[in-house]
Amino acid sequence: MKKLLFNSNCLILTFLILVSLPLFAENNDKDSSIRPEKILSDIEKISSLNQATKDVGQVQVPCEACIEKKINQKLVLKSKEVEIYGPYFMNVSDSYTVRLIRTSDTPKKLDLKFRNGGGTICGKGIGGITKAGGLYAECIIYVTETRQEELALDLSNLPVLNPGEEEIIEITFSKKNLKKFDYQLSVEHYGKNSFTSEVKEFWLDFGHKISFKDRLK
């Protein structure tokens, strides 16, 4: 189909040149709007059309700086185990985004480990002395309770990258209640092809499994 479009454009280009040249020779003195520069301009427009036809269906990888989003942490995936420092939230309206850079050296499967905060622990100390002369305890400090969790990242379905090529995976954490361990995940993949993420919660452990599949399949 692309070859047919390209051949049609070539025929159009040839037709325009053949028609424009006699007009330019005969009417150059009468109509100053027909000039060689205009013919060249038409040729450039058709060349741009040819290139646009070739690019149909190709997904361009956006440069890292072009993705406008607040990034809380950026990590290059080099080993099978990566530590995420966070996520941290001040309000329920906050989100925490981690940008992962995938290269040709990135393992196909890896674990992202992090500390998930939820609830508070009361740190007790001596509150004072009772009337009877005894000591009593009271909560003197509140500490956020955390637990170790992980995201199992399966990249085996993503295309193989050549040395020097990169892809971007962004994982965004959010919470509806800062006092609970429950959190929501949003995963975006930016690469040569269009892939969508699948997020499944672990059954007997804390964390999620993240995999990818071709959006067009």
Please report, for the chain, the start and end positions of each structural domain, with discontinuous segments joined by +.
Answer: 2-55, 64-118+146-214
* Residuewise pLDDT in 10s, the chain (217 residues): 444 444 555 555 555 555 555 544 454 455 445 565 665 566 566 566 555 544 444 444 555 545 567 899 999 999 999 999 889 888 889 999 999 999 999 999 999 999 998 877 777 777 778 878 777 778 877 778 888 999 999 999 999 999 999 999 999 999 999 889 999 999 999 987 878 999 998 877 789 999 999 877 6
Q: Is 178 exposed, middle or buried (0-12, 13-18, 19+ CB in 10 A)?
A: middle
Query: What are the strands of the beta sheet with 135-154, ordered from one edge?
Result: 81-83, 109-129, 135-154, 207-214, 195-201
167-207 pLDDT, tens digit per residue, is 999 999 999 998 899 999 999 999 878 789 999 988 777 89
CA distance 31 to 23: 9
pTM (2 d.p.): 0.63
